[in-house]
Amino acid sequence: MCGIVGYIGKEQAAPIILDGLARLEYRGYDSAGMAVYDGEKICTRKAIGRLKVLENITRGGESMPGTCGIGHTRWATHGAPSQRNAHPHTNEAGTIALVHNGIIENYIPLKKKMEEKGYRFVSETDTEVLAHLLDYYYRQDPLEAITKVLHRVEGSYALGILFADHPGEIYAARKDSPLIVGQNDTGCLIASDVPAILKYTRTVYYMENQEVAVLRGDSLSFYSMDEEEVAKEPATIDWDADAAEKAGYEHFMLKEMYEQPRTIVDTVSPRLRDNGGEKDITIEELNMTDEELKAVRKIHIVACGSAYHAGVTGKYVLEGLARIPVEVDLASEYRYRNPLLEEGSLVIVISQSGETADTLAALRESKARGIRVLGIVNVVGSSIAREADACLYTWAGPEIAVATTKAYSAQLAALYLLAMKFGRVRGVLTDTEFRSLSDSLKCLPDQIELLLGQKQKIQRFANRYLGARDIFFIGRGIDYAISLEGSLKLKEISYIHSEAYAAGELKHGTISLIEDGTLVVAVSTQPELYQKTISNIVEVKARGAFVMAVTNEENKAVEKVSDYVVYLPGTHPRFTNSLAIIPLQLFAYYVALGRGCDVDKPRNLAKSVTVE
């Protein structure tokens, strides 16, 4: 996610902004910039790369004198990392400057309208459209202009805004992206997150959605979107800096698990839009016409680790919703097995980091054979994102914990969108089916929130298995795919041996490993397979297993044969992996926690495997 810091008061603003941005570096970024009012005009400086570059070109802020300014570290979503895409963005006259964290979902139609009015855009970002809209509505009343603009905007935003003819003020607004306001005896501050201003104040105001703040050197005011003043009480932060980076969560992994609802909204909403009451999917970056989508005869999904597991889910979803044959491959295998890629094949490579060596090699191998490659990537501007013929970004923001959670969930959401797009274009999905899928997709974030609320219950259960030697995950069909991911989560952070098995496969060998008290996690979310999986549960129970079932609320029959059941809210059968993974992530997290493992940085593992 991007980082925002602003200051207005008695001190020089630039050094405070640079210091605050440095405390937000953990959020990940690719460029940075500042805008400071120097007494006559707004000066803006931007630099691609590390914050150090901006610090050097501004001599630690000295070359940007002034006591009122805003700064930004950019995590690219729309528009690759570059100087011109870095924030702050300004109107053409340079009299309005703003920084933004979030996604303006309707920026394309807004940008088109502003261009028709003669506005010229210099960046590829969604943010720049806000600078020109503010210019369009500005009649020397910043609050009026801001509220008019925000009434037209869809999506998420945290904003810091300067107006050259209001030099003693910083304006701030937020919706769905966090923003806090701080105050001390020298002035006032805004920041995306607590760590940025902890050094300057522990007195903060948490802005609510669609509130606007006006910061002056010695005063603060808050307004609603109707420009009515809002009274707010300050809060006192008692976190230390380390806790603040994790927003109060004990680990980045837990924080990122809780960001999954937001991640799915950010990945899905800009692409699943209402066109006059009819929902439609627009994946601008696909770079494929409907004809080209119809011409795809086979899909090869290639990835590593959890991204591979997302690909296994993708096989069931794409074959189910679009009736396209799908083959899924581990990138490290694919790149050396001289794959048979027929005419009309599409290769999809999935990667959170966009730098995984095996996946990048698989991409290059496919392109060398003249096959189109689509990337599903989280890091904008990464090698895989740049070398793929097209890239569908998962807007999960930077993922710090080695064990992926929110990026994996965003990969699933991206695959759902792709399958729905293919299914619609190829006439496989009826309008009714498409609407049902769209409605289910929109419900996932709240359902995930609900499941995350079960963390205490899962923690109590997990604490019974801290000493386990083996834990098995079983499932049939798409439930096998999620068993793979649940097993990997457990292995990689708790170091307990675990295996995932297609439930029907147990009798062909593995069942010999089941002993008294062995924990078997059985996932069963496909109604047509409920009975089959119950039979498998009975099989392992007969050998002494303890069974934790993860199943749909309707599947009460499983209770009779299982020792512990986690129920999932109802969703479309192709989307159940997005829900089933939540209790499995929580289980892995609490087992690892109970075993005293380093949850965010497990032994022997790296966040991105950039070597073979």
Using CB under 6 A, which of 17, 162, 403, 481 touches ligand AGP? 403
Among 83-91, 303-311, 333-341, 442-450, the segment contacting ligand AGP (CB under 6 A): 303-311
Asked if 332 interacts with ligand AGP (CB under 6 A), we say: no
- Active site (annotated) includes residue 597: no
Among 135-143, 144-152, 346-354, 417-425, the segment contacting ligand AGP (CB under 6 A): 346-354
Give the residue with the Cβ less far from ligand AGP, 177 or 359: 359
Residue 552 tokens read as 């749909």
Instruction: Quote the CA–CA distance of 281 and 267 in Å, as a whole number.
Output: 12
Place of tokens 């119950």: 534
Catalytic residue among 298, 532, 541, 607: 607
3-state secondary structure of 531: helix
Give the residue with the Cβ less far from ligand AGP, 178 or 398: 398
Residues 449-468 interacting with ligand AGP (rule: CB under 6 A) = none
Q: Where are the alpha helices (DSSP H) in 163-295?
A: 241-245, 252-258, 260-268, 290-295
Q: How far is the CB of 351 from ligand AGP (least distance, A)?
A: 3
**Is the separation of the CB atoms in 309 and 328 below 8 Å?**
no
Q: How far is CA 521 from CA 219, 406, 525, in A?
A: 57, 22, 13
Q: How far is the CB of 266 from ligand AGP (least distance, A)?
A: 18
Among 70-78, 209-217, 251-259, 301-309, the segment contacting ligand AGP (CB under 6 A): 301-309
Q: For residue 309, give the nearest of 299, 301, 318 by alpha carbon.
A: 301
Instruction: Quote the CA–CA distance of 572 and 96 in Å, as a whole number.
Output: 46
Give the residue with the Cβ less far from ligand AGP, 266 or 492: 492
Instruction: Quote the CA–CA distance of 534 and 442 in Å, as a whole number.
Output: 30
Among 137-145, 173-181, 302-310, 438-446, the segment contacting ligand AGP (CB under 6 A): 302-310
Instruction: Quote the CA–CA distance of 568 and 79 in Å, as a whole number.
Output: 37
Q: How far is the CB of 73 from ligand AGP (least distance, A)?
A: 21
Instruction: Quote the CA–CA distance of 33 and 46 in Å, as a whole number.
Output: 4
Phi, psi torsion values for 438, nearest 5 degrees: -60, -45
Give the residue with the Cβ less far from ligand AGP, 307 or 318: 307
Q: How far is the CB of 169 from ligand AGP (least distance, A)?
A: 43
Q: Where are the alpha helices (DSSP H) in 10-63?
A: 13-22, 51-57
Q: How far is the CB of 394 from ligand AGP (least distance, A)?
A: 10
Residues 353-372 interacting with ligand AGP (rule: CB under 6 A) = 353, 356, 359
- Active site (annotated) includes residue 532: no
Asked if 306 interacts with ligand AGP (CB under 6 A), we say: yes
How would you classify residue 300: left for phi > 0, otherwise alpha for psi between -120 and 50, otherwise beta?
beta
Q: How far is the CB of 458 from ligand AGP (least distance, A)?
A: 18
Instruction: Quote the CA–CA distance of 487 and 502 in Å, as a whole number.
Output: 12
Q: How far is the CB of 308 from ligand AGP (least distance, A)?
A: 7
Give the residue with the Cβ less far from ligand AGP, 304 or 414: 304
Residues 472-511 interacting with ligand AGP (rule: CB under 6 A) = 492
Catalytic residue among 2, 43, 304, 597: 2
Q: How far is the CB of 356 from ligand AGP (least distance, A)?
A: 3
Q: How far is the CB of 253 from ligand AGP (least distance, A)?
A: 9
**Is the separation of the CB atoms in 23 and 36 below 8 Å?**
no
Residues 204-263 interacting with ligand AGP (rule: CB under 6 A) = none
Asked if 77 interacts with ligand AGP (CB under 6 A), we say: no
Q: How far is the CB of 505 from ligand AGP (least distance, A)?
A: 22
Using CB under 6 A, which of 73, 123, 352, 551 touches ligand AGP? 352
Asked if 404 interacts with ligand AGP (CB under 6 A), we say: yes
| Distance in Å from the first CA to the final CA of the chain | 29
**Is the separation of the CB atoms in 17 and 195 below 8 Å?**
no
Burial of 466-482, coded b for 16+ CB within 10 Å and e otherwise, reads eebeebbbbbbbbbbbb
Using CB under 6 A, which of 64, 402, 521, 568 touches ligand AGP? 402
Say which residues have a Cβ less than 8 Å from residue 342's Cβ, sequence separation at least 6.
Answer: 297, 298
Using CB under 6 A, which of 145, 191, 204, 304 touches ligand AGP? 304
Among 169-177, 232-240, 283-291, 349-357, the segment contacting ligand AGP (CB under 6 A): 349-357
3-state secondary structure of 111: helix
The DSSP H or E segment spanning 419 is helix 406-425
Asked if 268 interacts with ligand AGP (CB under 6 A), we say: no
Using CB under 6 A, which of 114, 190, 281, 307 touches ligand AGP? 307
**Is the separation of the CB atoms in 267 and 396 below 8 Å?**
yes
Q: For residue 79, give the nearest of 51, 44, 107, 55 by alpha carbon.
A: 107
Instruction: Quote the CA–CA distance of 567 and 373 in Å, as a whole number.
Output: 38
SS3 content of the chain, % helix, strand, coil (to 5): 40, 25, 35
Give the residue with the Cβ less far from ligand AGP, 317 or 407: 407
# residues near ligand AGP by CB under 6 A: 15
Among 225-233, 299-307, 334-342, 533-541, the segment contacting ligand AGP (CB under 6 A): 299-307
Give the residue with the Cβ less far from ligand AGP, 128 or 492: 492
Of all residues in the shown chain, the one whose CB is closest to ligand AGP is 305
3-state secondary structure of 357: helix
Instruction: Quote the CA–CA distance of 181 and 220 in Å, as a whole number.
Output: 9
Burial of 408 (0-12, 13-18, 19+ CB in 10 A): buried
Q: Mind telling me the catalytic residues?
A: 2, 607
- Which residues in this chain contact ligand AGP in the complex, by CB under 6 A? 304-307, 351-353, 356, 359, 402-404, 492, 608-609
